[in-house]
Amino acid sequence: MERAGKNMKSKIIVFTLCAMLFAPWGSVNAQQPGKVFRIGLLDPSDARSSAVRLEAFWQEIRKLGWIEGRNFTIESRFSEEKTDRLDELAADLVRLKVDVIVCASTAAALAAKRATTTIPIVMVNSADPVGAGLVASLARPGGNVTGMSGLTVELNTKRLEVLKDAVPRLMLVGIPRVTSSVAAVSDELQMKEVRVAAVALKLKLEEINTKLDSKALEGTIQSLKQKQVGAILVVSRPLFAERKRLVELAAKYRLPAIYPQKEYMNEGGLMYYGADFDDLFRRSAHYVDKVLKGAKPADLPVQQATKFDFVINLKAAKQVGLTLSPEFLSRANQVIK
């Protein structure tokens, strides 16, 4: 009996010591919530222009179980079409030690990659991620970059085809360009393919450099009109900053134009053909989800756009004196009257 009592007393002492030992740890764990991740956003546009697309992204993030303020916070940086600021803004996100950087363009992704080789980077829309040097290949990205390709380079070929079908006897296409050191890689990749496509379509190109101010832009469009171009293909990303003015000038000089971003249609643009950006943003959210759960960008293949929009504005067509056939209009998934 005495031995049994001693054994029982020993067990009680051991149990008490264990309880004392683990109690503080249990208390600490209870006081520390799960990690709050920081999602960095690097966008060459401005907050207003990106609002709709970003809402599609954040809606998908919420569907995946992420709640702002509880398990993630947002650090947004917009360059407002000043592409030379992207490097500075990317460096700022790196200094903040964000857990992932979401990039809305090729130029933004390149700036982020220059700023870090360790923080995961998710591209929402890259024209040609392999050609730009962002990833080694679509199937095996390598490095710290993955995400979506918007097929911008390939879609410029399609836009040329659309212009040729829309404008009777089209021979010469004008291309206003704004080059910058940051956007130069993406811009030149696109132009290389456009030139090849023009030859195949038996079209000639009139490329002309311009600056991002109203007077210079009007001089450029006026010059293209004097050179007797039959239509305008917008390729250069920086022109997005002057999209309203560009649409106005196309109407003033009665030049049919096709645009690479849907926002041009909000300003009264004639035609848009391109990837469904809402879909790209939604799909990018799944990359962010995987990365924050531990997946490595190098192991996540780059996906390409699968949904596309073709929008036509009949009012704009009337302004430039363009009559579009019912067959042509039937190809659009949206006709603005």
| Per-residue CA distances from 163 to 153, 156, 159, 252 (Å) | 16, 11, 6, 19
What are the residues facing 259 on neighbouring strands? 272
Number of folded domains that form the chain: 2
Judge whether 30 lies within some domain.
no
Backbone angles phi, psi at 105, to 5 degrees: -160, 170
| Per-residue CA distances from 19 to 8, 11, 27, 47, 216 (Å) | 16, 12, 12, 53, 77
Q: Are 11 and 19 in contact (CB under 8 A)?
A: no
Residues 107 and 254 in one domain: no
| Per-residue CA distances from 312 to 49, 221, 318 (Å) | 20, 21, 11
Greatest extent of the chain over all pairs of C-alpha atoms, in Å: 113
Residues 118 and 211 in one domain: no
Judge whether 241 lies within some domain.
yes
Residues 243 and 331 in one domain: yes
Residues 118 and 195 in one domain: no
Residues 266 and 204 in one domain: yes
| Domain encompassing residue 116 | 37-150+276-307
Closest C-alpha to 50, from 243, 281, 322:
281
Residues 44 and 177 in one domain: no
Q: Virtual CA dihedral for 135, 136, 138, 141, nearest 10 degrees?
A: -70
The contacts of residue 259 (CB under 8 Å, 6+ apart) are: 234, 243, 265, 269, 270, 271, 272
Which pair of tokens denotes residue 104? Answer: 């809305």
Residues 282 and 143 in one domain: yes
Q: What pLDDT shows up at residue 25? A: 34
Judge whether 9 lies within some domain.
no
Residues 223 and 136 in one domain: no
Q: What pLDDT shows up at residue 17? A: 39
Residues 127 and 265 in one domain: no
Q: What pLDDT shows up at residue 49? A: 79
Q: Are 230 and 213 in contact (CB under 8 A)?
A: no
Terminal alpha carbon distance of the chain: 98
Q: Are 177 and 152 in contact (CB under 8 A)?
A: no
Residues 226 and 280 in one domain: no
Phi-psi region of 82 (alpha: psi -120 to 50; beta: other; left: phi over 0): beta
CATH number at residue 65: 3.40.50.2300
Distance of alpha carbon 128 from alpha carbon 98, whole angstroms: 25
Q: What pLDDT shows up at residue 180? A: 60
Distance of alpha carbon 129 from alpha carbon 136, whole angstroms: 8
Count of Cβ atoms closer than 10 Å to residue 60 Cβ: 19
Q: What pLDDT shows up at residue 303? A: 96
Judge whether 7 lies within some domain.
no
Q: Are 271 and 233 in contact (CB under 8 A)?
A: no
Residues 266 and 162 in one domain: yes
Judge whether 14 lies within some domain.
no
Judge whether 94 lies within some domain.
yes
Judge whether 18 lies within some domain.
no
Residues 110 and 89 in one domain: yes
Q: What pLDDT shows up at residue 183? A: 55
Q: What pLDDT shows up at residue 84? A: 85
Q: Is the pTM of this model over 0.85?
A: no
Residue by residue, pLDDT tens for the chain (337 residues) are 444 444 444 444 444 434 333 333 333 333 235 899 999 999 998 888 788 789 999 999 999 999 999 999 999 999 988 888 999 999 999 999 999 999 998 889 999 999 999 999 999 988 789 988 999 999 999 999 999 998 877 788 899 999 999 999 999 999 998 866 555 556 677 788 899 999 999 999 999 988 888 899 999 999 999 999 999 999 877 788 889 999 999 999 999 999 998 889 999 999 999 999 899 999 999 999 999 999 999 999 999 999 999 999 999 999 999 999 999 999 999 999 9
Judge whether 16 lies within some domain.
no
